[in-house]
Amino acid sequence: MSTTLFPTTVIGSLPRPAWVRELILDRKDGKISEEETDRLLDPTIESALRLQERAGLDEVTDGEWRRESYVKVFADRVRGFRADLNPSGGLPYPAVVEPIEYYRPLVVDEIHYIRGRTQRRIKATLPAPYIIGRRMWHPEHSKAAYPTCEQLMTDCVPILRQEIELLREAGADTVQLDEPWLSTMVDPDFREREGVSDVQYEMDRCVDLINQTLDGIEGIDTGMHLCHAHFDRAHGTAGPYDLIMPKLAKVRVGTISMEYATPVAGGLASLAQFPENVRLGLGCIDHCDRQVETAEDVIARVETAMRYVDKERITLHPDCGFSPSVQNPMDLDEAYLKLKAMCQAASLLREKYA
């Protein structure tokens, strides 16, 4: 990450205009080709870049506007999945039905397109192995190819490692693995719904898969993102992060990005246990709240975090992506104003603490 004090970034997705959401779903349904979809999206992606630059961000993405969702992109680009077989999380997800095969890059084209169109740092986002297994393994449809979801997770690792190497070559500055499942496990109601009987095992498995994916990767900054998951401004789980903090100390990653602006995260006191060997990506914008924060609101959250984590280790970002899937209705202008307030806060913090 940049040596700039209080650097600013996004988690990944921006709200998509309605016509973009429709376009992506038409592509999924075979009503329009992938090539024609990209032709229509290219200039729109440039507008997403300009929005982020105008807001003042130090690091940008393409808004994930080419994807149906942050995690389904894996199934879209890896052989072995069949669409909409798995009703995971309330929305239909693909299910793995054959041994998976990496036959074309997942998100490298996103990076190639924006690398020549911005001077800012660029973040590439990928789903982590654990959530791929949890979201896209089905006991009926998948067991012939993968008797357990753990076996699917293991096969995801070399695919993601190969993708990360290509992302570095394409000019990405940061690669982020999205792993909300780890933080959702702090909620006992969630664990009961999902049949998690041994939470320590599940957390260890999640962390080990992150480390397998990133160990030995050089020449690109690495991160992982945790959150309570959300759809239509409502979170899927709630609870402070105390349970998972000891596990985070075992993650071999550069930055751990966590959702802290929302009340469902239980406040910032859990940062007293935050590991000392990584950067904190501080969620300081509540993307689910329609109220646009002021710069002063953000500064107050950051200064509270500074009671626990040195200012040199803090990166600012929203709690999560604004719209991790095309089905998630969010407001683009609202997102811009929230990002602008965050970047104004970062500038004021630099003046105060430089």
Adjacent-strand bridge partners of 224: 177, 256
The reply to whether 310 falls in a domain is: yes
Q: Residue 226: which pLDDT band, with cuts at 50, 70 and 90?
A: very high
pLDDT at 62 over 60: yes
pLDDT at 283 over 80: yes
pLDDT for 98-142, tens place per residue?
A: 999 999 999 999 999 999 999 999 999 999 999 999 999 999 999
The reply to whether 3 falls in a domain is: no
Q: Residue 50: which pLDDT band, with cuts at 50, 70 and 90?
A: very high
Q: Mean pLDDT over all residues of the chain?
A: 95
The reply to whether 9 falls in a domain is: no
The reply to whether 49 falls in a domain is: yes
Contact by Cβ (8 Å): 317, 305: no
Instruction: Give the residue carrying structure tokens 């990944």.
Output: 12
pLDDT of the residue at 329: 79
Residue 329, both tokens: 């209705």
The reply to whether 79 falls in a domain is: yes
The reply to whether 13 falls in a domain is: no
State how far the Cα of 336 lies from the Cα of 338, in Å rounded to an integer.
5
Q: Residue 220: which pLDDT band, with cuts at 50, 70 and 90?
A: very high
Q: Residue 3: which pLDDT band, with cuts at 50, 70 and 90?
A: confident
Q: What is the mean pLDDT of residues 139-163?
A: 97
pLDDT of the residue at 88: 67
Domain count, the chain: 1
- Give me the CATH number covering residue 65: 3.20.20.210
Q: Which amino acid is at 353?
A: Y
What range defines the domain where residue 131 resides? Answer: 18-353
Rg (C-alpha) for the chain, rounded Å, is 19
Which helix (H) or strand (E) covers residue 314, if one does? Answer: strand 314-318
The reply to whether 55 falls in a domain is: yes
Q: Residue 348: which pLDDT band, with cuts at 50, 70 and 90?
A: very high
Above pLDDT 90, what percent of the chain? 92
The reply to whether 192 falls in a domain is: yes
Which helix (H) or strand (E) covers residue 251, if one does? Answer: none
pLDDT of the residue at 89: 62
pTM: 0.96
pLDDT at 1 over 60: no
| Closest C-alpha among 121, 123, 79, 124 to residue 102 | 79
